[in-house]
Structure 1
Amino acid sequence: MKIKTLFKSAILISVSTLAVAGETDRIVTEHDVETTQGEWCSAVINISQVYEDKGHEAAENLAREVVRDAYAYENGTVLFKPTLTTNPDTFRLTSEGALSYFVGGNEDFPQDTGFALNNWTQCHVDNAAVVTVGDTAHTMGKVHFTNANGDVTTVDKTWTFVKGAEDTLRITVHHSSLEHSAG
């Protein structure tokens, strides 16, 4: 019971601090989160389309912008565990590591083939839950990617977003894994 009370107090203090500081516009809403997730999906599809239309260099340039705009690497470490990574390159704590996961071509991450280059045509987020606390939001759910052949890949995804002074949500935690299949 004490932990629950402390947690509720911390939430109220966090939201109250933002309000007192005149930063109520920094309070994250579920709509903010869903919009940002939709933008992330659109970005992955755009990278895929640019790759198909204009090649790897153009896709890498776009992906670099996406990583810069969507993730909070400029503020410090981002905890990014992409879906299809293995040891010793499982976690991507730098923007270059994230970029490599999306488009490959980085000799420091030789196993990366470029997740965003898989000719994705659709992406849809299905949140199980969205928890907002002041300028932060946490989500857990599924993301469904459809490629040009109509094949769907579904991943389990957990995100943490923080709303910065520029009023933009940035990803600070991104954990993704393939669904478990029994058998």
Structure 2
Amino acid sequence: MITKEQVLEAQKNWGDGVVKIGSLKHNREECESYASDFLDVRYAFQEGTVLFKPTKCEIEQFRPTKPEALSYFIAGDDRACKEDKGFAIQPWTKVRFENAGMILEENRAIAMGNYFFTDLEGNEAKVEYTFGYKLIDGALRIDVHHSSFPYTHPEPVA
């Protein structure tokens, strides 16, 4: 049975990885290498389908392949999706999760809540997320990743 502690550890490792990617933005070769390894370790692209819907995508909303996910995280001249600006190379100094709940099973876990990304000025961006994890060779790997900005009520028209 997957435990809450395993999910919390996976979340911490994911957040630390996003921060590390941003810290490498001025060394493109090292950044690309680390980000590629990050996706191999944290996501289940090598195992099959990954349903990935990142936050800041309008035209190509869904990213089912590793190259498309890499494009979202670090962009670059050879990015797979032209709208990408490199989410992880913002950079962020901290990522923290606030889980609304988890579903824990033998080989699968789902977590939903908010995560917060702190920028260089100390400002936090709040994002809603759902991550689905598969237990693969003793490690949790993400095969469902959906994130979006919280709903904001439109201003009434006068």
Question: TM over 0.5: same fold?
Answer: yes
Aligned match for 1:41, one of 8, 11, 15: 15
- Tell me which residue corresponds to 2:47: 75
After superposition, the Cα gap between the structure-2 partners of 1:107 and 1:50, relative to the gap in structure 1 and judged at 3 Å, is closer
- Quick check: 102-111 or 124-133, which moved more? 102-111
Distance, in Å, in 1 between the alignment partners of 2:65 and 2:110 is 21
Shift >3 Å, 4+ stretches: none
Structure-2 residue corresponding to 1:20: none
Q: Does 1:125 align with 2:97?
A: yes
Work out whether 1:178 is the aligned partner of 2:152: no
The 2-side partners of 1:138 and 1:84 are apart by 22
Which structure is higher in helix share?
1
Q: d(CA) in 2 for partners of 1:57 and 1:90?
A: 27
- Which structure has the larger Rg? 1
The question of 1:143 aligning with 2:142 is answered no
Amino acid in the other structure paired with 1:153 = A
Q: Residue type matched to 2:6 in 1?
A: D
Unaligned 5+ segments in structure 2 are: none
Instruction: Give distance in 1, aligned partners of 2:30 and 2:152.
Output: 36
User: C-alpha separation between the residues in 1 aligned to 2:106 and 2:66?
Assistant: 26
Q: CA deviation at 1:181?
A: 1.7
Residue 55 (1) aligns with residue 55 (2): no
The answer (yes or no) to whether the contact 2:67–2:80 under 8 Å persists in 1 is: no
1:28 corresponds to which residue? Answer: 2
Query: Partner residue of 1:91?
Result: 62
Task: Tell me the percent identity.
Answer: 34
- How much does 1:47 deviate? 0.5
TM-score, with length taken from structure 2 = 0.93
- AA of the residue aligned to 2:75: G
Structure 1 residue 107: deviation in Å?
4.2
Q: Provide the secondary structure at the position in 2 that maps to 1:120.
A: coil
**Deviation of 1:62 (Å):** 0.8
Confirm or deny: 8 A CA contact 2:43 2:142 kept in the other structure. yes
**What's the RMSD between the two structures over aligned residues?**
1.0
Q: Does the alignment pair 1:155 with 2:117? A: no
How many corresponding residue pairs? Answer: 153
Deviation for aligned residue 1:78: 0.1
CA 1:95–1:103 in 2, change beyond 3 Å: closer, same or farther?
same
Q: In structure 2, do the counterparts of structure 1 residues 56 and 28 end up closer, same or farther at CA, with 3 Å as the change threshold?
A: same
